[in-house]
Structure 1
Amino acid sequence: MPRNKEFDYDKKLKTARDIFWKKGYNATTMNDLVDAMQINRSSLYLAYGNKHDLFLKSLTNYIQKKDKQYSQAAKKSEEPLEAVKNIIYSVFESALQDNNCLFTNSVFELAPTDKEVSKLLTKQTLKAVGLFEKLLKQAKENGTLQSDKDPLALAHFLVSGLVSIYNTHILFADRKLTKQTTDILIESIP
C-alpha cells in the first residue's frame, strides 16, 4: 500500500519557488532544494519530478501569484487608466518588497535556451499585454487616454517596462531611483 504524502505539496512548492527566486535556476542544486524543502530526494522526485519539472511548477506558481497581483491592483479603480497605473505601482511595491523577480530572472537566464520556460514566459507576457490593451482601449473609448498610439503597441511597451522597475531596484537598491523609473513609465502613457 502506498504511503500518503506527509507534507503540504503547495507549501513545499512555494519553498522551492523561493529558492529558485533567490538563487536562479542554474545556481540551485538538488541538495539546496532537498535541504530547503525538508523532504527526502525520492519524495521530491515522486511529487515534483526532476529539477526542471520542479522549476516549471515553481515558475507557474509564481506566474499565478503575479496574475493575482495584477488583477487585485486593477480592481482598485473602475477607471481603466487608473487601473493600468495601479498595476504599474503594484510592480514598484513588489520590487521594493521582494527585491527580485523570478519572472524577470527567468527571462534572462533561461528563456533564450529553454523552450518550455520561454513558452510559459511568452504566454504570461501576452496575458499581461492583453490586460493592459483591454484597459487602454477602454480608456481611449471613455476619453481618458488621448493618444494616437496603438493600444496594443502601448501595452507591449508598458509590460516590457515593468522589467525596468525590477532591473533598476535589483541593480541599484535605490528606492528613489526605482520610484523615478516607475513614474517615468507611467508618464509615458499619453
Structure 2
Amino acid sequence: MSILIHQSTYSHTQQTSPVMGRPRQFVPAEALRDALKVFWEQGYQATSLDDLTAAMHLSRSSFYACFGSKHAVMMAAVELYADELFARLEAMAAASMSALEAVHAVLAAIAEVDAGRRGCFFVNCVTELAPHDPALAAFGQYHVGRTGALIAGLLERAGFTPELAQTRAVALLALVIGTITLRKAGLPAPELLTILSQAQLLLADTTFST
C-alpha cells in the first residue's frame, strides 16, 4: 500500500528550451506530440532517431539542441500524456456527481475500452522500460500514486474508512490496468466492459476488508 500512502517526490523533466538553428515556426510542444505518436505506435526500442526526426520535422542537430536525447523526448512525452490524463481525472472527481459515480467515470476514462489495441501510452512505456529505467520507474510510481490517491479520496467521500479506501483503490487500479492489458491483447469492448463492471463488487461494501 505504500505506493499510495507515501507518494513519490518525483520531479518532472525540465525540457530544454529551443535554441538558434531550429526550423522556422518550430513549436517544441507540437514536435513532442509528434514524437509521442511515434513512440505509441512503435514502442521505445523500435523507434529510431531517424523515425523521431522525420516525425518531428527536425534535423539531428536541432533535435539534440532542443531535446537532448531520445530518452529525454520519451520521458517528456510520457509526462505530457500522464499529466493531461490526470487533469481529466481530477476534473471528473470535482464534477457535480456522487463520489461513486466519479469513481466509475475515472475508471472508464483510464480503461478506454473502445480505444483499440494500441493500449495506454503510459502503461505501454512502463511495461517496456520501467524494469531497467529508473527515471521512468520513478515517474510511473508517482503517477500511479497520485491516481490511487485521487480514487482513495473519492472512496472516503463515499463512506469508506481511510485504510479501506486505500486498499480498494489499489485493487481498482489493478483491475483497470488489467483491463487495459486485455484491450491491447484484442479482447472485444463488451467483454472488457464486463470485466470492468467487477469494480462494483469493490465499491459495494464500505466496511469489510478482505
Q: Counterpart of 1:111 in 2: which secondary structure?
A: helix
Residue 114 of structure 2: aligned partner: 96
The 5 A counterparts of 1:77-116 are: 77-92=96-111, 94-97=112-115, 99=117, 100-116=119-135
Q: Would you tell me which structure has more helix in proportion to its own residues?
A: 1
Q: Give distance in 2, aligned partners of 1:107 and 1:154.
A: 22
Equivalent AA in structure 1 for residue 130 of structure 2: A
Q: CA separation in 1, counterparts of 2:60 and 2:143?
A: 31
Partner of 2:154: 135
2:56 counterpart of 1:28: no
Letter in 2 for 1:150: L
| Deviation, structure 1 residue 112 | 0.9
Q: 1:134 to 1:189 in 2, by over 3 A?
A: same
How far residue 108 of structure 1 moved from its aligned partner, in angstroms, is 1.4
Q: Structure 1 residues 88 and 42, CA, compared in 2 at 3 Å: closer, same or farther? A: same
Bigger RCO (CA 8 Å, 6+ sep): 2
Tell me, what secondary structure is at the counterpart of 1:110? helix
Deviation, structure 1 residue 98: 5.6
CA contact (8 A) 2:130 2:136 kept: yes
Query: Could you give the per-residue CA deviations for residues 58-110 of structure 1, whole angstroms, max 9, x where no partner exists?
Result: 11111112112212332344311111111012223x34236421111122111
Segment drifting more, 116-125 vs 103-112: 103-112
Matched, 1:187 2:205: no
Segment of structure 1 superposing worse, 156-165 or 95-104: 95-104
Q: Which runs of 5+ in 2 are unaligned?
A: 1-18, 205-210
Residue 65 (str. 1) matches residue 84 (str. 2): yes
Query: What residue identity is the alignment partner of 1:114?
Result: D
Is the CA contact (8 Å cut-off) linking 2:23 and 2:58 kept in structure 1? no
TM-score for both structures, normalised by structure 2: 0.80
Who is 2:8 aligned against? none
Identity %: 23
**Displacement of 1:5 after TM fit?**
5.5
Cα distance between partner residues in 2 of 1:107 and 1:167: 12
CA contact (8 A) 1:81 1:135 kept: yes
- Quick one: which amino acid aligns to residue 124 of structure 2? N
Q: Would you say the 8 A contact 2:35–2:55 is kept in 1?
A: yes
Whole-angstrom CA distance in 1 between matches of 2:176 and 2:148: 11
Q: 8 Å contact 1:88–1:186 — kept in the other structure? A: no
Output one character per residue of 1:110-132: Cα deviation in whole Å (capped at 9) or x when no partner: 11111000000000000001101
Question: Which residue of structure 1 lines up, in the alignment, with residue 72 of structure 2?
Answer: 53
Name the residue aligned to 1:39: 58
